[in-house]
C-alpha cells in the first residue's frame, strides 16, 4: 500500500496494490508518527471482485450521413495505471480519450468514437473494450460492453416481386420490397395512356387481371427521411384467358393425335394391298 496526496490538506488517498478476492475484509485507518498513534474507530468494508465492471456505453440516435458519437466510460480506480479503451470495430472513425474526475472523487476514462454512419452499420455489433494493466507480472484484465447500432436511413433497393401468372381472370399479387429504417410506407401507381393513377397504399397489391388493368406499375417507398420509386413493371393482359388457352392447346393436341391415327391407318391399308 502507498499514500497519495497531502494529509495536511485532507486530500490523501490510500492505494492498495495487487488486490485479489482474498483481500476482501474490514479495514481501519491508523495514523502513527513518533510515538503518537491514532486509530480511527470507523471501518470500511472492502470487497474485491474477480471480474471488472463492464464499461458504460451511450449510443445516441444515429442517422445516415450525419456525424454520430458513441461514448464509452470505464472506471479508473488506480491513478497509476489508467485503463486503455478501444473500439471494435472502429468504423473508420476518430477516437478521443481522456481521464476525468468524477463528482465523488473517483476517476474514469472516457472514450468517444466519432464516425459517419451508413445503412450498412444498422444492426452492427460494436464492442467497447477496456484493458487494465496490473502491477504484478500477469495478463491484463479485460472488460467489454457490446451494443447494437440502430441507424435510421431512407428507403433503398426498392423493387417489385410478382406472384401469379398474367392471364385474363387470374388473381395477381404484386409485393413492394424495400430496405428502410424506420420501415417505409408504400403507395402504388399505374400509368396507362400517359395518365398516372394511384391504385393502392399498402405493401401488397392484389387484383384480377383484366384488359383495363394493363399498364406500367410503380411502387413508391417512403419514410421520414425520403422516398424512392421502384423500377417499372409492365403488366399486359393477353387477349385470351388461361382457361381458353388451355382449351385451344387441348384441341390442337387432339387434332394432331387424330391426324396421326389417320396416317397410321392409311399406311397399314397400303401395306395390305
Q: What is the pLDDT of residue 244?
A: 58
The answer to whether the CB of 181 falls within 8 A of the CB of 152 is yes
DSSP, res 80: T
Report the half-sphere exposure of 237 (CA within 13 A, side-chain side).
Answer: 18
Q: Is residue 272 a part of any domain in this protein?
A: no
Q: Is residue 261 a part of any domain in this protein?
A: no
Does residue 165 sit in the same domain as residue 136? no
d(CA 175, CA 197): 18
Does residue 170 sit in the same domain as residue 99? no
Does residue 74 sit in the same domain as residue 92? yes
Q: Which of 77, 84, 98, 83 is nearest to 19 (CA)?
A: 77
Does residue 66 sit in the same domain as residue 143? yes
3-state DSSP assignment of residue 124? coil
Q: Label the pairing between strands 226-229 and 215-223.
A: antiparallel
pLDDT tens by residue, 16-75: 777 778 889 998 877 777 777 776 667 888 888 767 788 999 999 999 999 999 999 998
Does residue 62 sit in the same domain as residue 127? yes
- What are the cell numbers at 68? 454520430
Does residue 60 sit in the same domain as residue 141? yes
Q: Is residue 267 a part of any domain in this protein?
A: no
Q: Is residue 263 a part of any domain in this protein?
A: no
List 69's β-bridge partners, or say none: 114
Does residue 140 sit in the same domain as residue 91? yes
Percentage with pLDDT > 70 across the chain: 89
pLDDT tens by residue, 79-130: 677 889 999 999 999 999 999 988 877 889 999 999 999 999 999 999 999 9
The answer to whether the CB of 209 falls within 8 A of the CB of 168 is yes
Does residue 61 sit in the same domain as residue 144? yes
Q: Is residue 255 a part of any domain in this protein?
A: no
At a CB cut-off of 8 Å and minimum separation 6, what does 77 contact? 106, 107
Q: What is the pLDDT of residue 137?
A: 59
Report the half-sphere exposure of 79 (CA within 13 A, side-chain side).
Answer: 12
Q: Is residue 271 a part of any domain in this protein?
A: no
Q: What is the pLDDT of residue 242?
A: 54
Write the CA distances from 265 to 142, 246, 271, integer angstroms: 92, 29, 10
Q: Is residue 254 a part of any domain in this protein?
A: no
Domain end marker among 149, 183, 198: 149
pLDDT tens by residue, 203-233: 999 998 888 899 999 999 999 999 999 999 9
What sign does the dihedral 146-76-111-136 (CA atoms) show? negative
Does residue 60 sit in the same domain as residue 145? yes
Does residue 225 sit in the same domain as residue 174? yes
Q: ∠ CA(118), CA(119), CA(123), 5° rounding?
A: 110
Q: Is residue 268 a part of any domain in this protein?
A: no
3-state DSSP assignment of residue 261? helix
Does residue 160 sit in the same domain as residue 217? yes
Range of the domain at 233: 154-239
CATH number at residue 131: 2.60.40.10
Does residue 61 sit in the same domain as residue 34? no
Q: Is 265 exposed, middle or buried (0-12, 13-18, 19+ CB in 10 A)?
A: exposed
Task: State how many domains the chain has.
Answer: 3
Q: What is the pLDDT of residue 247?
A: 66
Q: What is the pLDDT of residue 85?
A: 93
Specify the higher pLDDT residue, 152 or 80: 152
Amino acid at each position: 500500500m502507498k499514500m497519495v496526496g497531502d494529509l495536511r490538506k485532507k486530500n490523501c488517498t490510500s492505494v492498495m496494490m495487487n488486490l485479489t478476492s482474498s483481500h476482501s475484509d474490514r479495514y481501519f485507518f491508523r495514523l502513527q508518527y513518533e510515538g503518537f498513534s491514532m486509530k480511527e474507530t470507523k471501518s470500511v468494508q472492502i470487497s474485491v471482485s474477480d471480474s471488472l465492471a463492464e464499461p458504460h456505453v451511450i449510443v445516441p440516435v444515429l442517422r445516415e450521413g450525419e456525424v454520430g458519437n458513441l461514448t464509452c466510460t470505464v472506471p479508473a480506480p488506480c491513478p497509476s495505471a489508467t485503463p486503455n479503451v478501444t473500439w471494435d470495430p472502429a468504423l473508420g472513425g476518430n477516437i478521443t480519450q481522456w481521464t476525468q474526475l468524477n463528482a465523488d472523487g473517483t476517476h474514469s476514462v472516457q472514450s468517444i468514437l466519432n464516425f459517419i454512419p451508413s445503412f450498412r452499420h444498422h444492426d452492427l455489433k460494436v464492442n467497447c473494450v477496456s484493458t487494465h494493466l496490473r502491477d504484478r507480472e500477469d495478463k491484463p484484465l479485460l472488460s467489454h460492453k457490446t451494443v447494437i447500432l440502430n441507424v435510421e436511413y431512407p428507403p433503398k433497393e426498392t423493387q417489385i416481386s410478382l406472384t401469379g401468372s398474367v392471364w385474363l381472370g387470374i388473381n395477381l399479387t404484386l409485393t413492394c420490397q424495400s430496405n428502410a429504417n424506420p420501415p417505409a410506407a408504400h403507395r402504388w401507381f399505374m400509368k396507362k395512356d400517359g395518365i398516372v393513377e394511384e391504385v393502392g397504399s399498402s405493401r401488397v397489391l392484389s387484383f384480377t387481371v383484366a384488359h383495363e388493368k394493363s399498364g406500367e406499375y410503380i411502387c413508391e417507398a417512403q419514410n421520414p427521411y425520403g422516398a424512392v420509386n421502384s423500377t417499372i413493371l409492365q403488366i399486359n393482359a393477353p387477349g385470351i384467358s388461361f382457361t381458353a388457352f388451355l382449351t385451344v392447346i387441348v384441341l390442337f393436341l387432339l387434332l394432331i393425335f387424330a391426324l396421326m391415327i389417320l396416317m397410321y391407318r392409311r399406311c397399314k391399308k397400303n401395306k395390305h394391298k
